[in-house]
Structure 1
Amino acid sequence: MRRSPRATLTVLALAQFIVVLDVTIVNVALPHIQSDLGFSADGLQWVISAYTLVFGGFLLLGGRAADLLGSRRVFVTGLVLFGVTSLAGGLAGSPGLLIAARTLQGLGGAMLSPAALGILTVTFPHGRERNIAMGVWGGLAGLGGTLGVVAGGFLVDALSWRWVFIVNVPIVIALVVATPLIVPHIAPHKGRRSFDALGAVLATGGLLGVVYAVVRAEPLGWSSGEVLGCLVGGVLLLAAFLAVETRIASPLVPMRLLRSRALSSAGAAISLTGAAFLSMFFLTAIFLQQVRGDSALRAGVEFLPMGGAAIGAAVLATPLITRFGTRPVQIVGTLLSVAGLLLLSRADATGSYASQIMPGIVLFGLGIIAVSVPAQIAAVVDVTDTDAGAASGVFTAFQQVGGAVGLAVVTTLSTSRTTHALAGGASQSDAMVDGFHRGLLVAAAFTAGTFVVTLLSPRLAPSADQIAGAAAAA
C-alpha cells in the first residue's frame, strides 16, 4: 500500500508538537501544582528540569536506537512511553511521583523526536520537498511552544492542572493507531549494534548530580556533605563520560565534532540561551499568577506577544544571516535579549501589563530567536554531510541540558533572595518580587555570557543553499 508523504508529515509533526508543547504548557500550571502537591519553592523547578534534563541527556541515544532498531519501531515505543507517563503525571498524588513521571516522559520524548526526524528525512528527498517539510515540522514545533502557555492556562482554569498532562493521552492514542497505517517502515541499519547506553547514563547521571547539588546548596550550604557529595559525584560521572566517549567505536558525542570551533561556540551559545529562556518562562509564569494575581489563562495569553515576536524574528533571521553572516545577527539578538530581561526585571506587583511586562517579553522574544537561528545554522554548516545529523543532535542536547542547569541556578538564587527578604520582614508579595528581579538579572547574566561567546565565535557567511541544508539537518 502506498503511503502519503503528507499524511506521514502530519503524524510526525503532531508528535513533535506535543513534545515541545510539554516544555511550556506546564509552566502556567506550576503555582497550582505547588499548592496542590505541596512542592517546596526550590523543588518546583524539578517539574521542568526532570523533563528537559532526561530529554537532552538521552536524545542522542534515542537517535542511535532509531538507526539500529528501526525508526518507526522506536517512534511508536517513545509515543507509548510518553503517553503512559503523561497519564501518570496527571494522576500523581505526590511531588516524587510527578517528578518520576516527568523523568520518564523526557525519556519518551528523547526516543520519539529523533526517530520522527529520521523518518522525515527518508520520506522526503533532499531539496525543495524536504525543506518545505522541515518548515512545517519546525513551524508546528514552534507553535507548540507558543500555544502551550495558552492551552495550559485554559485547561488549568476550566478543569485542573492535571489536564495539562492528561490532554496528551488521546493525542498519543490516535498517533499510535495511525502510525502503522500511515508511516512507512524504514529498515534499520545493518552491522554491529552499538548503542553507547553507558555514555547516556553517565552523562545524564552526572548532570543530575550537579543540578541537585546546586538546588540543595541554598538550604544546606555549599559545605554540606550532601551538596559536596552530589557535586563531586556528578563531576566524576561527567569525567567518566568523556573518557568513555574517547575510547568507544560509536560514541554518543563524537569528539571530533567538538573540535569544530563553529559547533562548540554554537553549543555554548545555545546552552546559555536555553538557560535564560527556561528561567524567564519559569519565573514569569509564577510572578504573573502568585504576585500579580492573574488567572492561569490570562497569564498564558500575556505570553502571546513573545511568541508573535519570535515568529517575526524567525522570518527575518534567514535573509539577515545570508546578507550579514551569523555573528552580527547573534550579537544583535543577545543585546535585545538582555534589554528585554532588564526591562522585565523592573516589573512590580501593581504596574500595568502594557508598560511593565509586554515590552520586556517582546524584546526577549525577538532576541532569543535572533540568537538561536544563527547558532543552529552554525552548528551544522561547518561539518560534513555524514556528521550533520550527529551535530544537530549534539546542539539540541546542549540546548536542553543548558536550560535545565541554568534553571536550577536561577531558581536557587531567586528562592534564596525571597527567603532572605521574608526573614528581613518584607511582605510575601514584596519578597517574591525581589526574588523575581534577582532571577531575571541572573538570566540576563547568562545572556551576557552568550554575547561574549558570540564575539569569540567565527563569523560565518553561509549561502542560501547552506542555510537550507542546515535547516534540513537541524
Structure 2
Amino acid sequence: MALNCAYFPARPRTQETWRVTTTRPAPAPPRRTTEARNSGAVLAILCTAQALDIMNLSSVNMALPGMARDWSASPERLSWVVSAYSLMFAGFLLVAGRAADLYGRRRALLVGMAVFAAASAVVWASDSLPLAVAARAFQGAGAAVTVSAALGLIGALWRDEPGRSRALGAFGAMGGVGLAFGLVAGGALAGSIGWRAMFAMNVLVVAALVVGVLALIPADDPADLAGGRLDLPGAALVTTGLLGLSFALSRLGGHAADGPGWAVAAVAVGCLGGFLVRQRRTPDPLVPPATWRRPGLAAALAVAVFMYAGWVGVNYFAALLLQDVLGFSPLGTGVAFLPLAVGGTLLPLAAGRLVPRVGARRLMLLGLSCYTIGLALFSLVGPGANYWTAVLPLLLVLIVGLSQTFVAANITALSGAGSDEQALAGAMFNTALQIGGGLGLAVLSTVATTAGSDTLTGYRAAFLTAAGLSLAGLVTVLVGIRGPRRPNG
C-alpha cells in the first residue's frame, strides 16, 4: 500500500512527494534466505556438520583396540569413551536448542564447532583414558549445540516449502552417511596412521566448516531471535534429568534388575518433574507453554520416541539373530547391514521431496505401516532362513518405513514453529529420538531375557514388541495429527 503524503498537511506537497504517491510501492527487501544466495553451499556445510557429529558415534569403535593397547584399559573402562559422547549429546540437546534461539543460531553453530574441535584435539593429545573420556564428554556437548543450531538454521533460512522439506531430507540423510562413513574412515585411519588421526581429522574438517559458515551464512536477524534469557535452574534440571535418564536406560538395557540403574532413573525422573514444575512458574521457561500448543508437535515427538525405540532395538537384535541363529560372522553381519546404510542415505532425500506432494501425515502413515509389518515379519525369521529371500527384503521394508517416518515427523515437529524457536523445535525432536533409542533397547532387552528359555524365542518376542511400539506410533498419527499436513504454498 502506497504512503499518501496528503495525510500529513504539515509537509508541503512537492514534486518529490507527488512522485512517491503516484508510483508503485517500493518492493520489500528480499527475505534473507539461502534460496536466494548460495543455498547449495550452505546446506552442504550444515549437512557436513551433521555427518561429522554422527560419524564420531561410530568411528570411535574402530579406535578402541588402539586405546586399549596405549592405556592398558579394560573393555568396561573403554566403554566410557563411547558412552560419554552419547550421554552428553542426549543431555544437552534441549538446552542447546533454546540457547541457539535466544543468542543466535549462527553464533551457536560456531561455538558448538569450536567446542567439538577443541575436545577432539584434547582426545588426540591425551595420554590417559580419564582425560580422553572427559574430552569426549565435551565433544558430545559440542555436537549437541552444533546439531541443534544447524536444524534451527534450516528452519530459519528455508522458510517455505518445498525447500524446507528437501533441506530436512538431505540433513536426515547425513545420519546414514555419518554412521556408515564413520566405520569405514575410522577403520582405515586406525589401521594405517593410528587412532589419533581420527580426532586430528575432526579439527581439520571443522576448521574448513568454520570458514564456510563465516563466509556464507549471514548473522542472525535480531527480529528472529527469542526474547528473554536462558533459564539456568531449568536448564540444570532438564540436563541432569536427561543425562540421568540416558545413563539409567543404558544400564537397564542389559540388566533389568540393576539397582544403581533404577536409583539413577528415580533421580532423573525427579529432576524432570522439577523441571516441569519450574516451567509453569518461571517468566522465562526453557520450553514456552505456547510451544506445546502447536498442532501436531506432541504427536510428532511421540512418533519419534516409538519409531526410534523399535529401530535401535531391532538393529541390536537383528545383529544377534544373524550371528547366533543364522551363523553369520561379525564381518558378514556388517556387510549384510550395508543396505541399511545405503538406504538410510538415499531414502530420506526422496522422502523430503515427497512431503510437499502427499503431505507429512500420509507419509508417516505409509512409513509406519511398512515399519510395523517389517518388524512383525522379522519375528518369523528362524534357522535356515536365506538372507537374500528372507532377511534382505525385510531390511529394505524397514529402512523405507523408517526414512519416510523420520523425515515426515521431523517436518511436522518444525511446522508452525515461530522464527524464534526453530532450534528449540529441532532439539526437542532429536531429544525424543535419543530417549526413544534408550527406552527401546531397555524394554526390548528385558522382553528378550524374560520371554522364554531359548534365545530364538526371546529374539522373536523382542521383534513383536518393537512392532507393537511402531503400531503405537501409527495410532498416535491417526489420533494426534488431524488432516493432511500439506505445506502452504
TM-score range for the pair, normalised by the shorter chain length: 0.7 to 0.9
- 2:369 maps to 335
Q: Distance in 1 between matches of 2:443 and 2:212?
A: 42
- 2:230 maps to 195
- 1:470 maps to none
- 2:149 maps to 115
Counterparts in 2 of 1:127 and 1:455: CA distance versus 1, 3 Å: closer
Q: What's the CA shift for 1:314?
A: 5.5
Work out the percentage of aligned pairs sharing the same amino acid: 26
| Residue correspondence of structure 1 range 394-409 to structure 2 within 5 A | 394-409=428-443
| Residue correspondence of structure 1 range 37-436 to structure 2 within 5 A | 38-39=74-75, 51-86=85-120, 100-119=134-153, 124=157, 126-127=159-160, 132=163, 135-136=166-167, 138-146=169-177, 148-153=179-184, 155-156=186-187, 159-160=190-191, 162=195, 167-186=201-220, 194-217=229-252, 222=257, 224=259, 226-260=260-294, 262-284=296-318, 292-295=328-331, 299=334, 302-305=337-340, 307-308=342-343, 311-312=346-347, 315=350, 319=354, 322-323=357-358, 326-347=360-381, 351-381=385-415, 390-411=424-445, 416=449
Q: Distance in 1 between matches of 2:241 and 2:487?
A: 39
What TM-score do the two structures reach when normalised by structure 2?
Answer: 0.73
Counterparts in 2 of 1:252 and 1:402: CA distance versus 1, 3 Å: farther
One-letter amino acid matched to 1:270? A
Q: Distance in 2 between matches of 1:182 and 1:382?
A: 26
Q: Is the 8 A contact 1:68 1:193 kept in 2?
A: yes
- 2:17 maps to none
Q: Distance in 1 between matches of 2:376 and 2:349?
A: 23
Q: Distance in 2 between matches of 1:409 and 1:47?
A: 24
Q: What's the CA shift for 1:218?
A: 7.2
- How many residues get paired? 444
Counterparts in 2 of 1:362 and 1:166: CA distance versus 1, 3 Å: farther
Counterparts in 2 of 1:460 and 1:377: CA distance versus 1, 3 Å: farther
SS in 2 for 1:194: coil
Q: Is the 8 A contact 2:360 2:486 kept in 1?
A: no
Q: Distance in 2 between matches of 1:260 and 1:450?
A: 19
Q: Distance in 1 between matches of 2:135 and 2:242?
A: 19
Q: Deviations 1:131-152 (Å, cap 9, x if unpaired)?
A: 5477356415414414522541
Q: Is 2:477 the counterpart of 1:454? A: yes
Q: What's the CA shift for 1:82?
A: 1.7
One-letter amino acid matched to 1:445? G
- 2:16 maps to none
One-letter amino acid matched to 2:187? V
Q: Distance in 2 between matches of 1:4 and 1:96?
A: 43
Q: Distance in 2 between matches of 1:79 and 1:259?
A: 32
Question: Structure 1: any 5+ residue segments left out of the alignment?
Answer: 467-474
Could you say which structure has the larger radius of gyration? Answer: 2
- 1:469 maps to none
Q: What's the CA shift for 1:248?
A: 1.9
Q: Is the 8 A contact 1:274 1:399 kept in 2?
A: yes
- Of 406, 428, 444 in structure 1, the residue corresponding to residue 467 of structure 2 is 444
Q: Is the 8 A contact 1:309 1:362 kept in 2?
A: no
SS in 2 for 1:159: helix
Q: Distance in 1 between matches of 2:393 and 2:100?
A: 43
Counterparts in 2 of 1:180 and 1:371: CA distance versus 1, 3 Å: closer
Instruction: Name the Cα RMSD after superposition.
Output: 4.4
Question: Structure 2: any 5+ residue segments left out of the alignment?
Answer: 1-36
One-letter amino acid matched to 1:304? P
Q: What's the CA shift for 1:62?
A: 2.0
Q: What's the CA shift for 1:47?
A: 6.7
Q: Distance in 1 between matches of 2:305 and 2:253?
A: 23
Counterparts in 2 of 1:167 and 1:461: CA distance versus 1, 3 Å: same
Q: Distance in 1 between matches of 2:413 and 2:207?
A: 35
SS in 2 for 1:465: coil
Q: What's the CA shift for 1:213?
A: 3.7
